[in-house]
Structures are given as C-alpha cells and as structure tokens.
Structure 1
Amino acid sequence: MEQQQEIHNRIAARLLDHIKTRSTDQVDANLRIPSASYTDPQQFDREMEAIFKRLPILAGLSGEIAQPGNYKAFDLMGTPLLLTRLKDGSVRAMLNVCAHRAMKLAEGSGKCDKFACPYHAWVYGNDGSLNRIAAQDTYGDVDKAAMGLTQLPVYERAGLIFVVLTPGLEVDFAGFLGGMIEDIEQLGFADWHYCGNREIYGANWKVAYDGYLEGYHFASAHPETIHQRTFSNMMAFHFYGPHQLIGFAQKDMQAKLGAVDPQQLHRHENNGYDFVRTLFPNVSIFVAPEITQVAQLIPGPTVGENRTVLHFIHRQAPQNEEQRQANETMMDWLKQVVDTEDYSLGLKIQQGLASGAHEHVTFGRNEVGNQEFHRWIDHYLNPQLPLGPLQQE
C-alpha cells in the first residue's frame, strides 16, 4: 500500500509541475508504426496467437457471477466460454462445448448448478464434470471422468476474472500483472456492485486502444465533455511492465491541490486529477465518483473490427429506484461519449489506414503511453528481440 501511495504522489506532483509549465510527460523521440500493422490480417492472426491466446485476458468481473451457482456464457474472440461460481466461492472457466457432439451447452447468464446439452441432454455440473448421459444403456460405455468440459486456466483477483484461452497453458499470473493488480486491488472492486454493461463496435483493436492511452485529443475530440473538466495534452505515466497508470490533470487541480502536502496527494484521486489504469493488452479502467467504467476491448472478428464491452461498477448497490436510474443514465452517457466521440473517429481512422495514403503513423514524444503499448506488442510478437528501456523525460 505504501508503495502505491508513493507512486500516486509522484504522478500527482508531476501533474502539478506540468500545469505550471504547460507541459506533459515526454520521451526523447517520435515513434513510427507501419500503417499495415492495423490492417494486415496476417499480423492480426499473429497477435491473436502470441498475445490473446497466451496471456491472461479479462473474461469478466467478479460481480457478474457474485454468488455460488451463478454462471456467464459468452464468446470471447470466437471461443465459447462458460464461467461459473462454485459452492466454495471459487471460479471455473471452461470451453462451453459438450464433449459428445460439440454443441454449445449454456446461453446467457443466470444461476444453476447443472447444465443440460440442448442437443442430446447430456448433463454437466457447474464444475464441468459429466454427470449423466441420456439413455446410456443404448449409447455404450463412457469414461465420464475423461469427458468433462475442457477447463481453462482461470485467475480471480481484485474483482476481476482472467482466463488463458489455451487449455493447459498455466502462466505466471502474479508476475504478469505485478504491481498493476496490486494498485487495482486497493480500490476494493471485489466488494463493489456490478451495475451492468453496454456494447459498442469499432475499428481495429489497436486503433481503439490507442485512444485510451493519451489525452492529446481531448480538446479537439471532446470539447463539450472531457475537456470541460480535464486539461488536454497533459499526462503523467507510471508503467508496471506492459500495464499503465496514467494521470490526467483536472483544470482546477492547482487551486485544489497546490498547497497540499506532497505526501498526501495520493488521497485526492478524482478531486484534482484522475487515473486511467490499463491492463495489457485490452483493458482500460476509469474510476469516477459517479460510476466506474471497465472497458474490455475484444478484437475481431476481422482485422478491422473490435467489440468493446463497457462494464460498470459502483461502490454501493443502489438503495432505491432513483439511484438505480441515475446509474443507468450515467452508463448511457459514458457509452455515448466513447461511441460517438472516440469510436466513430476510430472507424474513420481505419478507413484512412486501409487507403494506403501513408506507409506509417507517427506517435509523438508526448504520446508516451502509445509508444510503450506498441513496443510491448512488438516484444510479444518478436520475443527473441530485447525490449530496451523507454527513454522518458
């Protein structure tokens, strides 16, 4: 906790300095990325294999399956998944595929402790074990223990549920998430109320994710929304491996926090500055007083598309209909902002990239988060190459 507080203090102090100098965190050079990296189907396939099928990927929030017996069935990048909460409180992640004839087993979400295949009525427990075969006397001998649902590595921490989409591929979860998951854990998401979600559709997953990593566009793309509260092109970064903690200065930060003890600045998130927390490769978390948004970017089905699920959580469950409706209104508003002010631009960017007008896109010295994000993508696609330090001012 003390380490997290010190990191927050340093970021907030840098933001105060940036306000005085009208500056932002910078690196020592621009970075060029081939435009084809956003449009090439072969690179997209490599990213799916080397990144999305080998790293812990967010599958859901703990609040979605909060109680024993809860389940959630969904597709993640074309993979049918089933998440369940067992009696002991643990989570299972399985391929939502019957061992008999590969039928999808469950749909939607809800609460039950058994799943019957809609094709031939084979029955599975919510731990994935095969419990019953319809008309087994005519079907023949079956080793039920060997015909359960295919299990996936699953990790639950800080109110978030991660899976590895390759069966049997155990990873160093703590090593991968490191200090970033500790930073999120101190927020207490595990005990927060799950309000609901909204879905939006956009361009290539990296085009979409680039927008979460910088505030350079706030003044031009969000003049009536974000820029009313927050400075444009004023950011401070801290990196936990490929994950990022990004600080954004509010326009009244100097007035609110200029005289605050530098060792107490960590206490003032959302009251002078805001953080965006990103989890590589595809999650962005924005904690706000009104509601918290967890954006889950899901690549595909083609290189030029993504589906983004905006999950929303709150510190407390609504106590009445007025509070519930206030949450619904805020979810609708945030969806509209992201969809119409970010993703609509991303679709136009995708068209521009596909046109072949320019061989490269260029990230400036001020687009620190974007440069780091693309360096890590290159690292996972080419692990034999060393990942040098990002030279940041």
Structure 2
Amino acid sequence: MERVQQIGDVAEIMLGYVEQGKTHQGAGPRTVPTASYVDKDQFKAEIELVFKRVPLMLAFTAELPNPGDYKAMDAVGLPVLINRDKAGQVHAFLNVCSHRGAPVAEGKGNCARFTCKYHAWTYGTDGRLIGIAEPSTFGEMDKAQLGLRALPCEERAGMIFVCLTPHAPLELDRHFRGFLEDFEALDFADWTYLGNRTIEGANWKIAFDGYLEGYHFKSLHPETIYPRTPSNTTHYEGFGPNMRIGFPQHSIADQLRTVPREAWGTRENYGYDFVRIFFPNVSIFIAPEITQVAQLFPGPTPDRNRTVLNYLRRHPIRDDADREAVEAAMNFFRDVTYQEDYVIGLQIQKGLESGAHDNLVFGRNERGNQFFHEWLNWYLEDDPSQPEPVM
C-alpha cells in the first residue's frame, strides 16, 4: 500500500479511538517473568543472541557527513569505530589496534588516518594497516593481515547500521520489512545532527518498555505529554520486529477535518504523532522543532542501561541564539526523559529485585510491549524455524 494512504488509514483509526474512547487491543493480557529483568544468564543471552546479531542503528549520516569524519563509541561493551573514507564510503571496525589492543581513535573528529597513541601504528580510513613505527627494529610483518577488524556496516535512509559480529550477515531489508521507507520519505539523510545527551537507568528492558505504550501518560506525565496526547489511546503496526506506534493528539478531530481525507497521511505532528521503534533498542520521536532518537544499550550489569539521546532537525543551526535555544531544548527533553521515566524505572528495578511478584502483566492495551517481548523471546530461542510473532 502506498505510504501516505497507509498512514492516512492509521490516522482515521486513531481518530476513531479518540471519538469512541478506544485503543488498539491484543488478544488478552500476557505475563513476563520478573526474573527476565534481573537474571544474569538471560542478560548474557540477550547480548549474544540479540545485540550481537541484529542490525543496530549506531550513527546518523548527519553525524558523519564528510570524507574523513569518524565516531568512536562503546556499543554493548565493545569499542566501535565508525568512519567515512576519502571516497565517502562508510565503514565500521572494532576500535582495537592489531599490535597490542589499544584504541586507534577517541571521540569524534575528522582525519586522513588513525594512529594508535600507544606505539603509533597507523591505519587508513579503509582499515588497512599502513604504517608500523620503527619497522627496522620491529621485524618483518605482513601488514595486509593486520588491518582493523571490520564489522558489517551499511548506510541507509540517513542512518548507519552495524552488526557487532564480524562477517555476520547484515540483512536490513529482512529486518526492517519496508520500514526504512518512512525515513527515506522524510529525507532523513539531509537533516542536521544537533548533539546528544547520555542518561543511565535500570535494566534496558524496563526503560524500553516505557517507550512502547501511552497507558501511563496521564498519571506519569500530567504536565508534559498528557496535555497534548491522551492516555491509553495508541495504535500499533509491526514491520518484522520493529514498530510504528501511533499516538493521536487531543486535537486530532479539529486538525484532520480541516484538510481533505486524502491528505490525512501527510499530517504527522498535526493531529497525531508516531514513535518509531527499531528492535531491539531505538525509539524515534520526530517533531517539527526537534527530533529525539533514543539508543538504549545494556549496561555492565543487568540492573543498568546507558541511553544516548540524539537530537536532529531538518534545518541547520542559524546563529548563536538558535544554538542556545537548541541546547535548552535538548536539556529539557533529557530532563523529562530522565526525571519522569528513568527515575521510576530505577524504582521498578528495586521492586523486581525484591521478589515481590513472579511476573509482570502487560494488558490487551499494551500490545506493543507484548510484541516486543514476543520477538525478544523468539531471538533468545535461537531457532529460526519457529514462527515469527505477528502484530
């Protein structure tokens, strides 16, 4: 189905939800063992069978727009280097020198080569080892065999996807099932990267569960989200393990009925909003003023996550006053996310560790949470012959 028509049909469904006091419904409530949020063995399995196998969105085209741009980061405890070579091609490597294991780059920047600060071994932007310090005393080495360890990497729709396992398949079309067309239609590759903020919270799934439903808006966000968006009024679409979650605004009827029905699919942010979910760990909220992209990574232990909140918008910074306003907006969204969602997540972590209950319950109205945990379990079973979950 053509994208605008499909979104217009979803907008009509959400309008009906608001007018009839309804929401998307699953078949029935489902339970998830509380142990899955605290168990060390499951935590290790999630990293090995999920985070190291599926395509992870680790960077944006707008972060690395020029040849020579690079970004060094930690992803699930692994040192990763993402860069754009002199021809404009994106690469990803394990950020580990082949000599003695030190990193070859730190932070972000632009360079023509990477030099390890320990012994000054040097690598090209394509990962090849191009220089060994003082080779006459070091001895003969085959430099062709000592390049940086490459990771599967592909740039698509304004984002850079990486698999954390060398030589593993990176099957973006199979994983996203057409979902990336949304970002191609939004011209996401031409946006401006504004910066990021990092926060820490409870188990990564406790944090991620909060991005997947609007059941809590009135009680937890009475002054920030609820004035715009009604509680418990949500629509879910599945694209493989990924989701587009629709949130109608209180004003959806007034907003949509000012334009022809065939234009309803072009009215995102004007009557309704979407949160786009990339399994297993990315939540994207696109707004005209500023867009927040949350990347959730498991922390060093099961009870912690590290979340990088990235901010983008369609047009570049205009001047110093605009930059100041952008910084204030990023701080505001970070503070709301942490103070209203992550603080209670830490309290939930403590509650689950108490052993008070054997299971958590996700209701029929929390179908997105159910769907996420169904897909997580599918990956943890590690048996592709099993039928995939469906929305």
- Normalised by the length of structure 1, the TM-score is 0.97
List alignment gaps of at least 5 residues for structure 2: none
Separation in structure 1 between the aligned mates of residue 66 and residue 6 of structure 2, nearest angstrom: 35
Separation in structure 1 between the aligned mates of residue 217 and residue 56 of structure 2, nearest angstrom: 28
1:198 aligns to 2:197 (yes or no): yes
1:108 aligns to 2:107 (yes or no): yes
1:222 aligns to 2:257 (yes or no): no
1:386 aligns to 2:390 (yes or no): no
Per-residue CA deviations over 1:317-336 (Å, capped at 9, x if unaligned) read 01112222221111111001
Separation in structure 1 between the aligned mates of residue 341 and residue 305 of structure 2, nearest angstrom: 13
1:8-157 maps to which residues of 2 (within 5 A)?
8-157=7-156
**Change over 3 Å in CA distance of 1:262–1:231 after alignment to 2:** same
User: SS where residue 256 of structure 1 aligns?
Assistant: helix
Separation in structure 1 between the aligned mates of residue 24 and residue 262 of structure 2, nearest angstrom: 21
User: SS where residue 152 of structure 1 aligns?
Assistant: coil
User: SS where residue 230 of structure 1 aligns?
Assistant: coil
Aligned residues: 390
2:378·2:388 contact (CA, 8 Å) conserved in 1? no
Question: 1:276 maps to which residue?
Answer: 275
Residue 380 of structure 1 aligns with an amino acid whose one-letter code is: Y
The structural deviation recorded for 1:263 is 2.4
1:297·1:306 contact (CA, 8 Å) conserved in 2? yes
Question: 2:355 maps to which residue?
Answer: 356
Separation in structure 2 between the aligned mates of residue 168 and residue 389 of structure 1, nearest angstrom: 27
1:303-322 maps to which residues of 2 (within 5 A)?
303-322=302-321
The structural deviation recorded for 1:388 is 6.0
Separation in structure 2 between the aligned mates of residue 135 and residue 375 of structure 1, nearest angstrom: 55
Kindly report structure 1 stretches of 4+ aligned residues shifted beyond 2 Å. 258-263, 383-390
2:236·2:246 contact (CA, 8 Å) conserved in 1? yes
The structural deviation recorded for 1:59 is 1.3
User: SS where residue 331 of structure 1 aligns?
Assistant: helix
Separation in structure 2 between the aligned mates of residue 262 and residue 216 of structure 1, nearest angstrom: 28
2:375·2:388 contact (CA, 8 Å) conserved in 1? no
Separation in structure 2 between the aligned mates of residue 261 and residue 214 of structure 1, nearest angstrom: 29
Question: 1:285 maps to which residue?
Answer: 284
1:115·1:126 contact (CA, 8 Å) conserved in 2? yes
User: SS where residue 232 of structure 2 aligns?
Assistant: strand
2:97·2:103 contact (CA, 8 Å) conserved in 1? yes
Separation in structure 1 between the aligned mates of residue 179 and residue 330 of structure 2, nearest angstrom: 25
Separation in structure 1 between the aligned mates of residue 143 and residue 389 of structure 2, nearest angstrom: 52
Question: 1:251 maps to which residue?
Answer: 250
The structural deviation recorded for 1:3 is 2.1
Residue 302 of structure 1 aligns with an amino acid whose one-letter code is: T
Per-residue CA deviations over 1:35-61 (Å, capped at 9, x if unaligned) read 001110100100101100011111111
Separation in structure 2 between the aligned mates of residue 309 and residue 389 of structure 1, nearest angstrom: 28
Residue 137 of structure 2 aligns with an amino acid whose one-letter code is: T
1:116·1:122 contact (CA, 8 Å) conserved in 2? yes
The structural deviation recorded for 1:191 is 0.4
Separation in structure 2 between the aligned mates of residue 3 and residue 300 of structure 1, nearest angstrom: 40
Separation in structure 2 between the aligned mates of residue 238 and residue 134 of structure 1, nearest angstrom: 55
Residue 37 of structure 2 aligns with an amino acid whose one-letter code is: Y
Question: 1:183 maps to which residue?
Answer: 182
- Normalised by the length of structure 2, the TM-score is 0.97
Residue 85 of structure 2 aligns with an amino acid whose one-letter code is: L
Identical aligned residues as a percent: 48
The structural deviation recorded for 1:116 is 1.3
Separation in structure 1 between the aligned mates of residue 54 and residue 14 of structure 2, nearest angstrom: 32
2:105·2:116 contact (CA, 8 Å) conserved in 1? yes
Separation in structure 2 between the aligned mates of residue 270 and residue 116 of structure 1, nearest angstrom: 46
**Change over 3 Å in CA distance of 1:114–1:389 after alignment to 2:** closer
Residue 278 of structure 2 aligns with an amino acid whose one-letter code is: L
List alignment gaps of at least 5 residues for structure 1: none
The structural deviation recorded for 1:170 is 1.9
